[in-house]
Every structure is written in C-alpha cells, then in structure tokens.
Amino acid sequence: MKILVVEDEIVSRKKMMKIINDFGSCEGVQDGKTALSMVKTALEEWKPYDLITLDVSMPDISGIEVLTTIREMEKEQGLDEEEKAKILMVTSHSDMETVKACVGKCDGYVIKPFNKEMMVDKMKKIGLIR
C-alpha cells in the first residue's frame, strides 16, 4: 500500500507515520502544496496513493482545499472509484462545518488524538485492510 501523510505538526506527522508504516510504504509532508505536487507526480506516473491522511488545518492551503484539488486531479486523470485514493481527514476540530465540507469527497474522519487501534479501525471501515 502506498501512503501519504499530510500534517503540518511534526509530532502528529511522525506519530501517524509510525502507526501506519506497518501497512505499506509511507511518506510524510508538512504542507498542502508539497502534498499536491506529490499526488500529481504519483498520478502522472500511474502510481497513485492508496491512502492519504490529510490534516484539515494547515498554514498554506486548508486540508479541505487539498482534498478538493486531489479529487479534481484524479477525475482529470480518468481514475474510477476503485483507483482513487482513500482519504482520511485528520483534525482536532469536531465542528459540523468542517465535517460538512468534507462529506462526499473524503472516505473518513479521524479526530485527534488518534492511536493505532483507531487508525486500524478506520482503515478496515474504508476497505484498505481486513
């Protein structure tokens, strides 16, 4: 499984990478611009990510904007539903506006603080692991 962790807080990024590194090849980036560049390259090489964990609140581009752009890039590349990345939005905010903005575009939602058990459960729910 090819995994991208997008998180501006280094502690959260390293924790997420440590938790999900057992499930595949895991890369981590600290901002939305870098994430979009990596996703674009992966799509151009026909090696899309299987899982992207995406922080909602980042300083450069919001996670919601990154999510929307990734979905547009996948559509332009002609990927069908099975080929698209599973995207889990990660946030410490549980406000309904954030949740509503992600509905229909992401595959799930992770509220900080997260742990391995929670991530395994989320990955099972979205069909990445059994």
Given a cut of 90, whether residue 57 has pLDDT beyond it is no
- Residue 63, Cα to own-chain centre: how many angstroms? 9
Mean pLDDT of 7-23: 95
Residue 51 — φ and ψ, nearest 5°?
-140, 135
Given a cut of 70, whether residue 72 has pLDDT beyond it is yes
Which CATH code of 3.40.50.12780, 3.40.50.2300, 3.40.190.10, 3.40.50.300 fits the domain covering 2-125?
3.40.50.2300
- Residues above pLDDT 70, as percent of the chain: 96
Listed in order, strand segments (DSSP E) in 23-62 are 25-29, 51-55
SS3 assignment, position 7: coil
Q: pTM of the prediction?
A: 0.94
Q: Please state the domain extents for the chain.
A: 2-125
